[in-house]
A and B are shown apart, each in its own frame.
Chain A
Amino acid sequence: MITSLLPAPFTRLAHGIFLSAALSVAMMACAVMPAKAGKAALNLAMSVEPTGLDPTIAAPVAIGQVTWQNIFEGLVSIDEVGKVRPQLAKSWEISPDGLTYRFKLQTGVKFHDGEAFDSATAKFALERARGKDSVNPQKRFFASIASIDTPDPETLVLRLSQPTGSLLYWLGWPASVMVGPKSAASDKTHPVGTGPFKFVNWAKGDKVELAKNEAYWNSQVSVKLDKVTFRFIADPQAQAAALKAGDVDAIPEFAAPELMSSFEGDRRLVTKIGNTELKVVAGMNNSRKPFDDKRVRQALMMAIDRQTVIDGAWSGLGTAIGSHYTPNDPGYQDMTGVLPYDPEKAKALLAQAGYPNGFTFTIKSPQMAYAPRSAQVMQAMFAEIGVTMDIEPTEFPAKWVQDVMKDRAYEMTIVAHAEPMDIDIYSRDPYYFNYKNPVFNDLMKKVQETTDPALQSKINVEAQKILAEDVPALYLFAMPKLGVWDKNLKGLWENEPIPSNVLTNVAWKE
């Protein structure tokens, strides 16, 4: 080697330069040859970076989208079609009165740090979630649990104070995942679960890296990916560029519908348009004039042509809804025909309610793209029936949560509700709609009194009808899941019955 002729320090320097040059070349080579056989790494991009990685102590959806089913698992899980499946609990029995749940747990399950999972661990996780100092964002899920027994390591018994028909479904949520007594306190920055992937590193502002859990307990699944990198790219243009340049392999939820068509010419990528649980609704303050009059709310609903809103706000992608329910949900009924677009009838209703010349009000619109765009379309349509709507941009989440959720100082607002199966929010008191309907509340109570899915669906159909008639909020559309990914990638969910990026069955085509 020529460097041997030089004095020692130079040799070292030259070696260093040579080595780093070789390394860069090797790394560049890796970057330009992604589709080689045996590929087991995935780069997946999300729009929002999670704040903390423990879904049991903070609400942001992005936390679950990184960790749920990948790092953390629950007693039960929710599958691709929204059904409850056994997970860390392999089976269960519910007493006829619906007050006792007896779970049989999997054996031989270990957390990533080696701690064993058994009924005592499960009890710890649930006590932590429902305890006095709990900051679990869905603490209400556990409100009816009166006591938890662990007759043996394989058996967990929940005793309830009242029947809670949604309990099993709720136990499948990110907020209900099982955490270990030793690791729970540090899960926020270093999550430790029982899932198929282990946490490796979080470069804040940039990415979260996971690696395959070689000791995964569930022998029924064969995890194909060795390494997963969640990258956080806020700007849709930057997302599109990263995909086209091959920097990322998949964007399960692309943020800009208007850019979807730009992927069509790319033979390397596929686009998939699925359903989500996101319901875009324009909520009204039902205790304020004139929105306390059902005829006014109905008139506003009939003034809106939902398809025009979808076209204007979301490039025609999305499904019109007539109630707080999406086509994903069991017992879904299309309610868009209850108060269809009919400006003449809307005007007549307004006149009946005492507003023959319309009225003026303000909508508080968060900055997320769908909101101001929908609001502008609605503004034009309300103008046709003589109603003037002023649009007030309202910063989300901080100011919106304060003004609308907490103070309820608003007339109308618009927001996408992300929680699956949350039709019960209209029975919550207090909640920002200020909607009070004893008949509806009664139905929500009845849903909880049964554990029979068929009966629950039947009751939810009734509930949908009431909301479609009463319109405490204007029901606009269910957001589409705009997926774009490498066409050799298999196993990503196309629909989204619960916000998540489940990677258990994701693999590159051989």
Chain B
Amino acid sequence: MIALLGRRFAGLILTLAAVSFLVFAVMDLLPGDPASIMLGTSATPETLAALRHELGLDQPLILRYGQWLAGVFSGDLGQSYTYGVPVAGLILERLAVTLPLALLAILLSVVIAVPLGSFAAARPNGIADIMATLFSQLSIAVPAFWVALLLIIVFSTTLGLLPAGGFPGWNGGLWPALQALVMPATALALPQAGVLTRVTRTAVLETLHEDFTRTALAKGLSGRAVLWRHAVPNALVPILTTLGLQFTFLVAGAVLVENVFNLPGLGRLAYQALSQRDIIAMQDVVLFLAALVVIMNFLVEMSYLAIDPRLRRNV
């Protein structure tokens, strides 16, 4: 167990180091210079040189990378070129939006998909199955931003029930914050729920064909008890894997939905940092996301051990 943890941890550090250097190098190779973007079209070469010096851009890549890395190890993620404030604070502010949004979306997608997929698997080709297939195809096919616009038109501009966008912040109270997040979370959750419904259906269907289900049925358990006590828990591994993947995808990939709902999330920060060539901010955001992916995978793997005693014995 300890050895496994150690191996995972070493792998984590190596992955992050490789990712961070790659991002730094790629951002440097991209055309466009942060200083000339900041100074616009009227800047003289001397002004440009002065700003490049002030930002440290006149130093070689490897030196800048080294300085950044040293900073990270001492807990300083560096200053954003364009905002002029520490990136760590920026990321934390954005996480306060993106993390609850992603969690809410995951929750919604589980609440929709697991029952729907399970019912579908219980009676293949039954009414529930047809409905589930229809739902998952539709929700995967329809783009999230389109759902977002539709929700805004119905619930904000027509009914006036929910704010059309923006985020009031958590210190404005739980209720206004949740109100601001419910529509974006729904827009994000629908396609995820579609995928998850399919995964759940397949996984539960598979466990229903296993010997232990037949034994359970033979013991005289009702169909419902077999489904919820035996089939669904045993189908949790693929469901959890999908959830883990989706979570990282949600955190990293909410740019479009954050734009439509004007939410100050991590996705918007990444987009802005890229277009302004704010190398330090970009680097930190990517490193953070990479860490999230690696840690999430680790957690998902650990949770297999928690839910499946058979796997624990093999470690």
Binding site for B on A (CB under 8 A): 20-21, 23-24, 27-28, 49, 51-52, 58-60, 132-140, 188-189, 203-207, 231-235, 237-238, 241-242, 244-245, 247, 395, 397-399, 401-403, 405-406, 417, 419
The answer to whether A51 touches B163, judged by C-beta atoms less than 8 angstroms apart, is no
Q: How many residues of B contact A (CB 8 A)?
A: 54
- Cβ B165 vs Cβ A242 within 8 A: yes
> Contacts A235-B259, A242-B262; is A135 near B50 (CB within 8 Å)?
yes
Do A132 and B50 have beta carbons less than 8 Å apart? Answer: yes
8 A-B residue pairs with CB within 8 Å: A27-B172, A59-B43, A137-B42, A140-B44, A231-B262, A234-B268, A238-B261, A241-B165
Is B249 on the interface with A (CB-CB < 8 A)?
Answer: no
Instruction: Give Cα A49 to B172, complex, Å.
Output: 22
Q: Are A398 and B37 in contact, CB atoms less than 8 angstroms apart?
A: yes
Contacts A24-B176, A203-B93, A247-B163; A405 near B36 (Cβ below 8 A) = yes
CA distance A135 to B160 in the complex (A): 47
B15 CB–A CB distance under 8 Å = no
Question: By the criterion CB–CB under 8 Å, are B32 and A51 in contact?
Answer: no
- Beyond contacts A27-B176, A189-B85: 20 other A-B pairs, Cβ-Cβ < 8 A, are A20-B175, A27-B173, A51-B82, A58-B38, A58-B40, A59-B41, A135-B39, A135-B47, A135-B50, A139-B46, A204-B85, A233-B165, A235-B262, A237-B152, A238-B260, A238-B261, A241-B156, A242-B164, A402-B31, A402-B33
Q: Taking A204-B85, A242-B165 as contacts, is the C-beta distance between A398 and B277 under 8 angstroms?
A: yes
Q: Which residue of the partner chain B has the closest CB to A367?
A: B275
- Interchain residue pairs A-B with the least CB separation, the first 4: A398-B32, A59-B40, A205-B264, A51-B82
Tell me which residues across on chain B come within 8 A of A405, comparing CB atoms. Answer: 36, 41
Q: Which residues of B contact A28 (CB under 8 A)?
A: 176
Contacts of A235 in B (CB 8 A): 259-260, 262
Decide: A397 and B163 in contact? CB cutoff 8 A: no
CA distance A43 to B33 in the complex (A): 34
Task: Evaluate whether A133 and B164 lie within 8 angstroms (CB atoms) in the complex, with A203-B93, A204-B93, A234-B262 already known.
Answer: no
A404 to chain B, nearest CB (A): 10
B269 interface residue, CB < 8 Å from A? yes
> How many Å lie between the Cα of A23 and that of B175 in the bound state?
10
B165 pairs with A247, CB closer than 8 A: yes
Contact at B31–A403, with CB atoms within 8 Å?
yes
In the complex, how many angstroms separate the beta carbon of B161 from the nearest chain A beta carbon?
10
Q: Specify which of A59, A207, A402, A419 is in contact with B39 (CB 8 Å cutoff).
A: A59
User: By the criterion CB–CB under 8 Å, are B166 and A242 in contact?
Assistant: yes
Interface residues of B in 63-100 (CB under 8 A from A): 82-85, 90, 93-94
CA distance A231 to B165 in the complex (A): 11
Is A139 within 8 A of B47, CB to CB? Answer: yes
Q: Is B169 an interface residue (CB 8 A)?
A: yes
Chain A residues whose CB sits within 8 angstroms of the CB of B47 once the complex forms: 134-137, 139
Contact of B50 among A52, A133, A401 (CB under 8 A): A133
Interchain CB contact under 8 A, B165 and A206: no
**Complex: how many Å from CA A132 to CA B49?**
11
Report chain B residues within 8 Å CB of A58.
38-40, 82
User: Cβ of A137 and Cβ of B165 under 8 Å apart?
Assistant: no
Indicate if the CB atoms of A51 and B44 lie closer than 8 Å: no
Q: How far is the CA of A135 from the CA of B39 in the complex (A)?
A: 8
A238-B30 contact in complex given A20-B174, A23-B173, A135-B50, C-beta closer than 8 Å? no
Q: Are A52 and B84 in contact (CB under 8 A)?
A: yes
Q: How far is the CA of A241 from the CA of B36 in the complex (A)?
A: 35
Q: Say if the beta carbon of B24 comes within 8 Å of chain A.
A: no
Select A205's contact among B94, B157, B175, B176, beta carbons within 8 Å: B94
| B211 CB contacts on chain A under 8 angstroms | none
What residues of chain A lie closer than 8 Å to B152, measured between beta carbons?
A: 237-238, 241
Q: Which residues of A contact B90 (CB under 8 A)?
A: 204
Contacts of B33 in A (CB 8 A): 398, 401-402, 406
Taking A137-B40, A137-B42, A402-B31 as contacts, is the C-beta distance between A24 and B93 under 8 angstroms? no
Instruction: Given A49-B272, A238-B165, A238-B259, verify A59-B264 contact (CB < 8 Å).
Output: no
Q: How far is the CA of A98 from the CA of B120 in the complex (A)?
A: 86
Smallest CB gap from B261: residue in A: A238
List which B89-140 residues lie within 8 A (CB) of chain A.
90, 93-94
- By beta carbon, the residue of chain A nearest B265 is A205
Tell whether, in the assembled complex, residue A189 and residue B275 are in contact, meaning their CB atoms are under 8 Å apart: no
Residues of B within 8 A of A59 (CB): 38-43
Contact with A along B151-189 (1 / 0, CB 8 A): 011001100100111110100111110000000000000
**Chain A residues in 8 Å Cβ range of B260:** 235, 237-238
Residues of the A chain whose Cβ atoms lie less than 8 Å from the Cβ of B261: 238
* Nearest CB of A to B177, in Å: 10
Q: Which residues of chain B from 245 to 259 have any CB-CB distance to chain A below 8 Å in the complex?
A: 259
Taking the closest CB of chain A, its distance from the CB of B290, in whole angstroms, is: 21
> Looking at A138, A205, A401, A403, which has the most chain B CB atoms within 10 Å of its CB?
A205
Cα distance, A183 to B260, chains bound together (Å):
37
Q: Is the CB of B38 within 8 A of A60?
A: yes
- Minimum C-beta distance from B147 to chain A (A): 13
Closest to A400 in B: B32
Q: Which residue, of B32, B41, B84, has the highest number of chain A Cβ atoms within 10 A?
A: B41
**Minimum distance in angstroms from A425 CB to a CB of chain B:** 8
List, in ascending order, chain A residues with CB within 8 A of B54's CB.
133, 135
- The answer to whether A138 touches B82 (Cβ under 8 A) is no
**Chain A residues near B175 (CB-CB < 8 A):** 20-21, 24
Please provide the chain B residues from 267 to 313 with a CB less than 8 Å away from any CB of chain A in the complex. Answer: 268-269, 272, 275-277
CB distance from A183 to the nearest CB of B (A): 14
- Closest chain B CB from A389 CB (angstroms): 22
Complex interface: chain B residues within 8 A of A417 (CB): 41
CB of B51 within 8 Å of the partner chain: yes
Q: Which residue from B51, B83, B157, B166 sits with its C-beta under 8 Å from A51? A: B83
Say if the beta carbon of B149 comes within 8 Å of chain A. yes
Q: Within the complex, what minimum Cβ distance (angstroms) separates A322 from chain B?
A: 22
Q: Are B166 and A206 in contact (CB under 8 A)?
A: yes
- Asked if B39 and A231 sit within 8 Å, CB to CB, the answer is no
Contacts of A138 in B (CB 8 A): 42
Task: Name the contact of A401 in the complex, choosing from B37, B44, B149, B165 (C-beta under 8 A).
Answer: B37
A51 close to B276 (CB less than 8 A):
yes
**Nearest CB in chain B: distance from A54 CB, A:** 9
Within 8 Å by CB of A204, from B44, B156, B264, lies B264
Contacts of A406 in B (CB 8 A): 33, 36
Task: Give the distance in Å from the alpha carbon of A403 to the alpha carbon of B44 in the complex.
Answer: 17
Q: In the complex, A350 Cα to B262 Cα: how many Å?
A: 49
Q: In the complex, A23 Cα to B268 Cα: how many Å?
A: 30
Select one of A203, A206, A232, A397 contacting B37, CB under 8 A.
Answer: A397
